[in-house]
Structure 1
Amino acid sequence: MPPRLWARGGHYPGPVTSPHGILLLDKPQGLTSHDVVARVRRAANTRKVGHAGTLDPMATGLLIVGLGMATRLLTHVVGADKVYEATIRLGEATNTDDAEGEQTGKADASAVAALADAELARAVAALTGDLLQVPSSVSAIKVDGERAYARVRAGEQVELAARPVTVSAFEVRSIRRLPEQGVIDLDVRVACSSGTYIRALARDLGAALGVGGHLTALRRTAVGPFDVASATPLAALTDGAVAPADVLLAPADAATRLVPRLDLDEQQAVDLGHGKKLALAQAGGPGIRAAIAPDGRLVALVSVSKTGVVRVETGFPQPEAQP
């Protein structure tokens, strides 16, 4: 019987292979991404765990976690496009641009009520496409070696530089007018490039409409080719009841979802595994490929030059059994 990855108590009956793979998790609200990684470390009985793309404690949804050798894939996941579902409240601004901060401004209820649906649509359209976005001051961006949010919490005024982002879709799914509270809630879907802050979109939308705005809910539904519909709830892992085949994507499977596949013969797999450059006719045009051995193992992520020369970018040595 194969060993279970999520062993109760972290004890194994004998030699096992350390877990290697990509885990798609549905993060619950109230936990940091670091909290989730710590739980996975305990559940999987391994220290080599990392994640791609931080989610704030308020946010839920898809968190991609790498275990063992598959942590090397995470740098290729971080830059993937993202999709979110969110709720933006118009009429109130906060110092964190989300519901966890303190209110810094509230618009007159009559000004909020006067916003027509067409005006909302125009403001949303203006925040779609290629933008220069100023990240929220409580982001994880480092300023002189320290996270911006830490400086803000220490009482500092932090101003971050605008950076280019792409919002490929900003769709309003529903408009909920709440006159008793003097606000409008917009349920939206956003597809965007890596590095886009949905809190900043909420802030900028409210500012453009002259009433202020902040984020009240956020859920990440996709990262590149990975979807939250295929994710495992965190609670299903921490109770020790899930077997590896049920939850882990093999490194080769995950890699070939990210980039095109390059099949190798046995000698080519050995040579690339040793870091050699190869000229392969089957490599296709320039770009990144997932080089796969005949046994289905991921050998490396490789770059292919215009002349067909294949060079290792990230190697994946074959895992060894652990006592």
Structure 2
Amino acid sequence: MGGHPGMVLVDKPAGVTSHDVVARARRALGTRKIGHAGTLDPMATGLLVLGVESATRLLTYLVGLDKTYEATIRLGSATTTDDAEGETLDVASLDTIERVTDPDIAAGVAALTGAISQVPSSVSAIKVDGRRAYDLARKGEDVTLAARAVTVARFDLRAVRRAAGTIDLDVVIDCSSGTYIRALARDLGADLGVGGHLTALRRTRVGPFAVDDAVVPDAIAVEALADPAEVAATVLGRFEVSDDEARALWQGKRLTGAAPRLVGERQAAITTGGTLVGVVERRGDDIKSAMNLPAPAAAGGTG
């Protein structure tokens, strides 16, 4: 069954790793060549975008897309991992929690909305001196990660649920790639003086792709693969090329004087027959390939 390039949207269940989903896709599709555009923690659910065969080359253009998450933040305690899987570090007193008002929460959320500076969680997958931060943290080593600029375009409070010793917040967040929702939970709790961590996380959108269009891991099959040309056109826009132009691009040549036809810095070069040639970019007045998919056997070039 190998040999079908494409993209597949998968709704990852809780309790399995992103790697588990990739392994299941490899078995279902009969190929080793599968990658994903951004991992999800085991506790998290929701959208994973997988690239299959030559379409893995498109993943680099998907990892930087904005994302939407639905999450539950628990105020009242902090944990070692900033989520429910870690050990509890600090627990706020009942009095302290009861003094946190809805306007306090709204102000804390507002302070974490927009362009912010964020220190990633110590159990993130960021590499420190070539080693994953979470590996160092689990060995008890102190991990200090540099703050990074991220953008939280939307941080909506959907519900505030109060119980003895806790306040649970259901939120929806639109954010730039590289934003850690666990770190938002940690920082909101710290700002309010009661501690905070994440108890639920679901990714509902990656760029233009929605979890509503995803399949469960057991339903991964060739029939679930999206055409790489359609995916690339959705993300990058369509740059239509003739068969002769496609052949030239596959041969590594430039399209002389074609730059005025390009919208933006780069687009997906697609033949009139609907075959994805690759991703093209501007070079002065010319167009050149930033990335090509393999040419169909027939032509060194046409679809």
TM-score by length of 2: 0.95
Q: 1:299 aligns with which of 258, 269, 277?
A: 277
Report the alpha carbon displacement of residue 115 of structure 1 after superposing the two structures with TM: 1.1
Q: Within the alignment, does 1:126 sit opposite 2:111 as a pair?
A: yes
CA RMSD after TM alignment: 1.4
Which residue is equivalent to 1:13?
none
Q: Within the alignment, does 1:168 sit opposite 2:148 as a pair?
A: no
Report the alpha carbon displacement of residue 110 of structure 1 after superposing the two structures with TM: 1.6
Which residue is equivalent to 2:258?
280
Q: 1:40 aligns with which of 25, 39, 58?
A: 25
Which residue is equivalent to 2:46?
61
Report the alpha carbon displacement of residue 28 of structure 1 after superposing the two structures with TM: 0.6
Which residue is equivalent to 1:79?
64
Which residue is equivalent to 1:221?
204
Q: Percent identity?
A: 56
Which residue is equivalent to 1:317?
294
Q: Within the alignment, does 1:28 sit opposite 2:13 as a pair?
A: yes
| Equivalent AA in structure 2 for residue 112 of structure 1 | I
**Conserved in 2, the CA contact under 8 Å of 1:175 and 1:187?**
yes
Q: Secondary structure of the equivalent of 1:62?
A: strand
Distance 1:302 1:163 in 2: 30
Which residue is equivalent to 2:132?
147
Report the alpha carbon displacement of residue 318 of structure 1 after superposing the two structures with TM: 3.1
Q: Within the alignment, does 1:95 sit opposite 2:80 as a pair?
A: yes
Which residue is equivalent to 1:11?
none
Report the alpha carbon displacement of residue 284 of structure 1 after superposing the two structures with TM: 3.1
Question: Structure 1's 84 and 319: CA in aligned 2 closer, same or farther, altered over 3 A?
Answer: farther
| Equivalent AA in structure 1 for residue 210 of structure 2 | D
| Equivalent AA in structure 2 for residue 176 of structure 1 | R
**Conserved in 2, the CA contact under 8 Å of 1:97 and 1:202?**
yes
Report the alpha carbon displacement of residue 36 of structure 1 after superposing the two structures with TM: 0.9
Distance 1:226 1:166 in 2: 19
Which residue is equivalent to 1:10?
none
Could you tell which deviates more after superposition, 85-94 or 291-300? Answer: 291-300
**Conserved in 1, the CA contact under 8 Å of 2:259 and 2:282?**
no
Distance 2:277 2:163 in 1: 56
Question: Structure 1's 154 and 282: CA in aligned 2 closer, same or farther, altered over 3 A?
Answer: same
Gaps of 5+ in 1: 6-16
Report the alpha carbon displacement of residue 111 of structure 1 after superposing the two structures with TM: 1.2
Distance 1:86 1:261 in 2: 34
| Equivalent AA in structure 2 for residue 77 of structure 1 | L
Could you tell which deviates more after superposition, 228-237 or 138-147? Answer: 228-237
Report the alpha carbon displacement of residue 282 of structure 1 after superposing the two structures with TM: 5.8
Question: Structure 1's 320 and 228: CA in aligned 2 closer, same or farther, altered over 3 A?
Answer: farther
Report the alpha carbon displacement of residue 266 of structure 1 after superposing the two structures with TM: 1.1
Question: Structure 1's 319 and 89: CA in aligned 2 closer, same or farther, altered over 3 A?
Answer: farther
Gaps of 5+ in 2: 299-303
Which residue is equivalent to 1:190?
173
Q: 1:212 aligns with which of 184, 195, 202?
A: 195
Which residue is equivalent to 1:253?
230
Distance 1:73 1:284 in 2: 19
Q: Secondary structure of the equivalent of 1:232?
A: coil
Question: Structure 1's 144 and 282: CA in aligned 2 closer, same or farther, altered over 3 A?
Answer: same
Q: Secondary structure of the equivalent of 2:50?
A: strand
Report the alpha carbon displacement of residue 285 of structure 1 after superposing the two structures with TM: 4.2
| Equivalent AA in structure 2 for residue 184 of structure 1 | I
Which residue is equivalent to 2:94?
109
| Equivalent AA in structure 2 for residue 64 of structure 1 | V
Count of residues paired in the alignment: 297
Distance 2:16 2:250 in 1: 39
TM-score by length of 1: 0.89
Report the alpha carbon displacement of residue 20 of structure 1 after superposing the two structures with TM: 0.5
Which residue is equivalent to 1:266?
243
User: Deviation digits for residues 194-222 of structure 1, max 9, x if unmatched?
Assistant: 00000000000000000000000000000
Distance 2:96 2:253 in 1: 66
Distance 1:304 1:229 in 2: 35
Report the alpha carbon displacement of residue 235 of structure 1 after superposing the two structures with TM: 2.1
Distance 2:38 2:57 in 1: 14
Report the alpha carbon displacement of residue 65 of structure 1 after superposing the two structures with TM: 0.4
